[in-house]
Amino acid sequence: MILGKQAEFDPIRWLDKALIHICARFGDYQKDSPSSFSLSSRLSIFPQFMFHLRRSQFVQVFNNSPDETAYFRVILNRENVANSAVMIQPSLISYSFHSVPEPAFLDVAAIAADRILLLDSYFTIVIFHGATIAQWRKAGYHNQPEHQAFAQLLQAPHDDADEIIKERFPVPRLVICDQHGSQARFLLAKLNPSATYNSDSRPPGGDVLFTDDACSISDSRFLQKLTTPSIC
């Protein structure tokens, strides 16, 4: 007797179907107009959250050992909602001379030469210096009395990172890197690829991602096309 082969469970496909079903159930739209599709304010960021879940280490297990994957998932199930949300969709804080520290979109467009970014993905904390900031730091400007404002700008993300590390267990890994440096991959891997090597233009002083992954905007447009016919 030949036993039937059981279909392999595909978590990404399951998440996609669940997202389409939820959007079809709770979305508003005008018939034959995918661009009119919208979700209520309570669900408006849900597709974006699912986008980052699909790319997280909880679903994308490639390049992780089975032990690492099990560890990540155990911590996810153990922590509270706030910490679990950070694991799936990390927080990003921007520091610059032009404004006080403020939240930034988890997108490659957040990178700027004159900006410092602090990424908190729960397991890893990244302090990322833009190209100009890194050049000034290497030149030692922050050690000169007339550049105290620059010294304070450099120190601010470190102080915030220290506060996060003190309150978290297991202790996250701290990565300090510069734009175009090898360690910058810890930040780039978490960003939405709105600008890639295939993009027509490169943001001035910004960066691009060398990936073929679709960005969240493309995913949203595709979701609209899939969802609208299903509820017509």
Q: pLDDT tens for residues 139-194?
A: 999 999 999 999 999 999 999 999 999 999 999 999 999 999 999 999 998 998 87
pLDDT of 131? 95
CB of 160 within 8 A of CB of 117? Answer: no
171 and 107 together in one domain: yes
Q: 5 Cβ partners below 8 Å, 6+ apart? A: none
Residue-averaged pLDDT of the chain: 84
68 and 45 together in one domain: yes
Residue 117 within a domain? yes
13 — pLDDT class (breaks 50, 70, 90): confident
Question: 18 lies in which domain range?
Answer: 10-85+212-232
179 and 94 together in one domain: yes
| Mean pLDDT in residue range 215-231 | 52
| Rounded Cα–Cα distance for residues 180 and 173 (Å) | 20
Give the bridge partners for 120, in sequence order.
91, 125
95 and 55 together in one domain: no
94 and 180 together in one domain: yes
CB of 118 within 8 A of CB of 160? Answer: yes
65 and 95 together in one domain: no
pLDDT at 136 exceeding the cut of 60: yes
Measured in degrees and rounded to the nearest 5, phi and psi for residue 37 equal -65, 135
Q: pLDDT tens for residues 45-67?
A: 888 898 899 989 999 888 889 99
User: What are the Cα distances from residue 30, in Å, to 44, 129, 158, 225?
Assistant: 17, 45, 49, 12
38 — pLDDT class (breaks 50, 70, 90): confident
Residue 198 within a domain? no
178 and 232 together in one domain: no
pLDDT at 76 exceeding the cut of 50: yes
Residue 116 within a domain? yes
| Mean pLDDT in residue range 87-109 | 94
69 and 26 together in one domain: yes
Does the bond joining 170 to the residue before it have cis omega, within 30 degrees of 0?
A: yes
Residue 205 within a domain? no
122 and 164 together in one domain: yes
226: left (phi over 0), alpha (psi -120 to 50) or beta: alpha
- Using alpha carbons, select from 215, 222, 224 the residue that is nearest to residue 38: 224
125 and 170 together in one domain: yes
CATH of the domain at 81: 1.20.120.730
Residue 196 within a domain? no
Asked which of 17-26, 50-59, 200-209, 215-224 is least confident by mean pLDDT, the reply is 215-224
Task: Count the domains in the chain.
Answer: 2
Residue 202 within a domain? no
32 and 116 together in one domain: no
Whether the predicted model's global pTM rises above the 0.85 cut: no
40 and 54 together in one domain: yes
